[in-house]
Structure formats: structure tokens, C-alpha cells
Amino acid sequence: MIGEPVLVMLVEDNADHAELVIRTLQDHHIANTIKHFSDGQAALDYLLRRGEYEDPVVSPYPHMILLDLRLPRVDGLEVLRIIKEQEALKNIPVIILTTSEAEKDVARAYDNHVNSYLVKPVGFDEFSKLMQDLGFYWLGWNTHPRI
């Protein structure tokens, strides 16, 4: 992806958490564009190109999806399941970024083929470092098929 504009999709309903993720990704120059959705249904509409998102030129697929678990309208695990069932979407790295450390949530995420499961650190410095490392790994160092 060297030289290619990087698009990250953030699906997060907590405005403070979303702002922190967006600011951290921008500060570390990890993504050129961040598409933020505050509920699972809107994220699915974008990914499945429904309604206002049907034009692929205007609504390109993201290079990485950061997905919270507890979302309004459609739960994060259901969003994950649908993404991983779609031929056009299944190779997009999906990273759960949540406050839940519950073993059942971790197991269900991996049962639905999540690429990584991360628990949000409480401190700003730790969170910033996590986002920097995450971006460099998935968007810089990791090799994956073209989307």
C-alpha cells in the first residue's frame, strides 16, 4: 500500500472514544481518510453499498476496520459476521477495539473470524501507543491481498 491513500473505517458509538481514535490516527499519520460510523447499520450500509453509499467511487472499501462491540442498531459481532461472509469484504482486516475483556466476547469474535481483538487501554499514552502500533502493523508491515 506504499503511496496508496489509506482509508480506515471506525465503527464506534462513544463520541469521546471516536475522537481519541481519530486524533491518534491523524497525529501518527496512519490514515489519509477515516470514515466514522456511530452505529452498526450505517457501517453495513456503507460496506454493502446500500442507499447513499452505492457508488464505489464515492464509497471505496476501507483498508482496515476498527469495530466496537456494543453498537446501536446492529451489534458489532453481527457486523463482523456479515463482513466475513461477504466475498468482497472478507479479506479486509477487522480489529475489534472495545472495553470488554469478557472471554465470551473474545471467543465469539474469533468464532466470527476477527483478525485481532484489542481492549482499549485506560490511559491516553497507552492508547496512543496502541493505535500507533496497530496502524503500523496492519497498514504498513502486514502483507495482505489487495481489496
Over the stretch 23-47, which tens digit does the pLDDT of each residue have? 888 887 777 899 999 999 999 999 9
pLDDT band at 3; cut points 50, 70, 90: low
Q: Is residue 31 part of a domain?
A: yes
Confidence (pLDDT) at 79: 98
Q: Is residue 2 part of a domain?
A: no
Taking 50 as the threshold, does the pLDDT of residue 1 lie above it?
A: no
Q: Is residue 1 part of a domain?
A: no
**β-bridge mates for residue 9, sequence order:** 35, 65
Confidence (pLDDT) at 6: 83
Q: Is residue 144 part of a domain?
A: no
Q: Which domain holds residue 52?
A: 7-139
CATH of residue 120's domain is: 3.40.50.2300
Dump the DSSP string for 34-56: EEEESSHHHHHHHHTT-GGG--T
CB 39 within 8 A of CB 13: yes
Q: Is residue 145 part of a domain?
A: no
Q: Is residue 82 part of a domain?
A: yes
Confidence (pLDDT) at 112: 96
Cell of 20: 481519541
Q: Is residue 101 part of a domain?
A: yes
Do β-strands 116-119 and 33-37 pair in parallel, antiparallel, or remain unpaired? unpaired
The model's pTM: 0.90
Q: Is residue 122 part of a domain?
A: yes
For the chain, helix (H) and strand (E) counts, in that order, are 5, 5
Instruction: Select the more confidently predicted residue: 83 or 121.
Output: 83
Instruction: Select the more confidently predicted residue: 29 or 93.
Output: 93
Instruction: State the total domains in the chain.
Output: 1
Residue 123 CB: number of other CB atoms within 10 A? 8
